[in-house]
Chains A and B, each alone.
Chain A
Amino acid sequence: MVGLRLVNVSKKGRGKEVLKDVSLEVRDKELFVLAGPPGAGKTTILKIVSGLVSPDEGEVYIGSEMVNAVPAAERDVGMVFETPAIYPNITGFDNIAFPLTLKKLPEAEIKSRVTEIAQMLQISHLLDRKPTTYSGGELQRVALARVLIRNPRVLLLDEPLKNLDAKIRERMRAELKRLQRELGITMIFSTHDQLEAMTVGDRIAVMDDGVINQVDTPEKTYQSPRTVMVARFIGSPTMNLIDCRLKEVDGRWMLDATDFEINVTRREEVTRAYSAGSSLVLGIRPEDIGIADLGKGASRTVGTIHMMQNIGDETVVAVKIGNTIMNTVISKGRVVRYGEKVSVDLRDERVHIFDKKTKTAIL
């Protein structure tokens, strides 16, 4: 059974194309993440699914039903917005009960359902107070309660953790994932934060500029990014992307990146499809670059330590090789110094190769 589907949806807004022929499939009970930089079209997709916005072209299916003509009020979709839709002039209880009062349910039933959901989300202490006293995290949880109390068939969350403090975001990420599994509800979660996308989603759709670049599990997206955009977006620190040229020397195929070379003789997908001189882009993740003291057994590539960023359990080190600067990570125990010369080990087999013109991965 399919949770929901978008088929060839396009939308124009303010002169530019916000969504270009987007097709998506979300499975029943799946936690699906829409990831991408601001302006990619994530919010527009959510608004089209909810019915608040109509697509210029394409169809929207919830379950097996095409809902293009169904007004938002009847689609039974719940949405949590970036700025929580919680009214400051009424109490937490009244806010959560709001959708039920719209349906004119009996008071006793409303009361029991609100109490139940408040307990599940641990916000019972907020029911009697007005939202003006709530913290950011509490606001979002009340907004969540308000949406969940209706048991909608689909739950949409538009960057719900964006305005929260870093620490609270961490906690709510895991909470949301746990909640989704407990309730078994089909959920679409949008975010610009790649870490959130990776940790929260069952599957991720990475999009940019109205186009979906890749839909895959977090693992596959990380290991095999399909386009340069996905490669750059997923993974922190960012993958190092360098322009290069394919060249052949004595039967050996190399990617010439001016300041260093990568051996790609064994990569048939490249050597068979491209001729010498082709412009390509190579991508190598920081954790696939090793630095070591110069000395015996060192690699031929030499670099200088350019900058260091201590991020707690690891340190991000920027190494300068010729005119190219690449990032690598070292564990927190190791010590390196500015300007120190080191041997750089680039793991050839872990290099991702992209076509420079189409920006897609060569597989």
Chain B
Amino acid sequence: MKARQALGPAVRYILVILVCLWTLTPVAWMISISFKPPTEWYSPNIIPERPILDNYITLFNSTIPIGGTYFMTSITEVITRPLFNSLIIASLSTVFALFIGFLAAYGVSRYRAGGTFALFFTLLTRMLPGATFVAPLMVYYSTLGFIDTYPGLVMLYTAVTLTYAIWILKGFIDEIPPEWEEAAILEGATPWTVVSRVTLPLVRGGMLASALFIFILNWTEFLFALVISVTQVRTLPVQISLYASAVGRMYGPQAALGLVATIPMVILGYAIQRYLVTGFTFGRVR
């Protein structure tokens, strides 16, 4: 009896471990490559025989040869500019998407703004593959002069992630009983006060969850960043892809930059996890 009962949890643990291995192995491999010299980039061992830091150093100083070999990046720029660009663009887009998204979600939830169609329409926009409107976008952008500009990418990212913001936030706003806002109205609150002092604090968890989700989408976006940016607003994902030399792709620096690029997201996720309170306990207290 006891053995059979122990089997259940054991199987669960095994499954969890398998899933973890599946998702984390590529990450582990990436970390491993980032410390390897070029000679080992293709070798199967996970622990480098001759670990080096050059892959990281070259991100900041492109003139040094890596691992004492003749490999050198063909990029002369250091990563500080792309890092800065990614931070600015991803952050601004996230903030705009949340701001506009919240207002839209509120309208849809409380006032049924847009009727039954508007909400569905925003979802439709996400069903087209991004690649289909690269070409038209390029035409608009070059005509209007948005190529390789901050507004160019920020507007696009905001527009795209707006849908997610609206959908997630609407769900959270729906959870709040309208009576809670009505009570504040009767107490003399203006509509803006109601939103800022009643609704927003209560959907804080939803806002932060959306923020993290949208930030990650913006941070890792590659296709449009590649197409729209040239040099000024090049983002990290594009930068990573450019590590190539006359003799082939530089996996070392790519892995290193890949790891560096994940750090801001990890920090953000860790910082807000405390606020991601799932499962509200308001309403029916029995």
Residues on A facing B (Cβ under 8 Å): 50-52, 72-75, 77-79, 81-83, 85-90, 98-99, 102-103, 131-132, 134-136, 139, 146-147, 150, 163
Contact = CB atoms under 8 A, between A and B. Distances in A.
Chain B interface category by residue count? 20 to 34
Given A51-B186, A98-B184, 11 more contacts: A50-B186, A73-B187, A83-B284, A85-B179, A87-B201, A88-B202, A88-B281, A102-B193, A102-B197, A134-B285, A139-B285
Most chain B C-beta atoms within 10 Å of own C-beta, residue among A86, A89, A136: A89
Interface string B195-232: 00110011010000000000000000000000000000
Contact of A81 (B182, B204, B284, B285): B182
B283 A83 contact: yes
Contacts of A85: 177, 179-180, 182-184
A73 B186 contact: yes
A281 B202 CA distance: 55
A78 B186 CA distance: 7
Contacts of B186: 50-52, 72-73, 75, 77-79
B123 interface: no
Interface string B162-202: 00000000000000010110111111111001000110011
Contact of B281 (A74, A78, A132): A132
Nearest to A95: B183
A107 B202 CA distance: 24
Given A83-B179, A89-B202, A163 B185 contact: no
B110 to A, nearest CB: 12
Contacts of A77: 186
Among B188, B189, B204, B286, find the residue whose CB has the most chain A CB atoms closer than 10 A.
B188
Contacts of A136: 285-286
A83 B179 CA distance: 8
Contacts, number: 76
Q: Which 9 A-B pairs have the closest CB atoms?
A: A85-B183, A99-B187, A81-B179, A88-B282, A73-B188, A132-B281, A85-B180, A85-B179, A72-B185
Contacts of B183: 79, 81, 85, 146-147
Contacts of A98: 184, 187
Contacts of B204: 89
Interface of B: 177, 179-180, 182-190, 193, 197-198, 201-202, 204, 280-286
Contacts of B179: 81-83, 85
Interface centre among B177, B180, B187, B283 (most CB of A within 10 A): B187
A74 B182 CA distance: 13
A51 B286 CA distance: 31
A209 to B, nearest CB: 24
18 contacts: A73-B187, A73-B189, A74-B188, A85-B177, A85-B182, A85-B184, A87-B180, A87-B202, A87-B282, A90-B201, A99-B187, A99-B188, A102-B187, A102-B188, A102-B197, A131-B282, A147-B183, A150-B187
A135 B193 contact: no
B182 A52 contact: yes
Contacts of A52: 182, 185-186
A89 to B, nearest CB: 6
Contact of A102 (B189, B201, B202, B281): B189
Contacts of A82: 179
Contacts of A132: 281-282, 285
Most interface-central of B177, B182, B204 (chain A CB within 10 A): B182
A163 B188 contact: no
B198 A103 contact: no
B286 to A, nearest CB: 7
A103 to B, nearest CB: 7
B266 to A, nearest CB: 27
Contacts of A90: 201
A87 B177 CA distance: 10
A135 B286 CA distance: 7
B96 to A, nearest CB: 26
Contacts of B182: 50, 52, 72, 79, 81, 85
Nearest to B204: A89
A281 to B, nearest CB: 40
Nearest to A77: B186
A132 B282 CA distance: 6
B286 A103 contact: no
A202 to B, nearest CB: 24
Contacts of A72: 182, 185-186
Contacts of A79: 182-183, 186
Contacts of A74: 188
Contacts of B286: 136
Contacts of B283: 83
A268 B40 CA distance: 113
A135 B285 CA distance: 6
Which of B179, B190, B283 gathers most chain A CB within 10 Å?
A: B179
Contacts of B190: 73
A45 to B, nearest CB: 15
B274 to A, nearest CB: 14
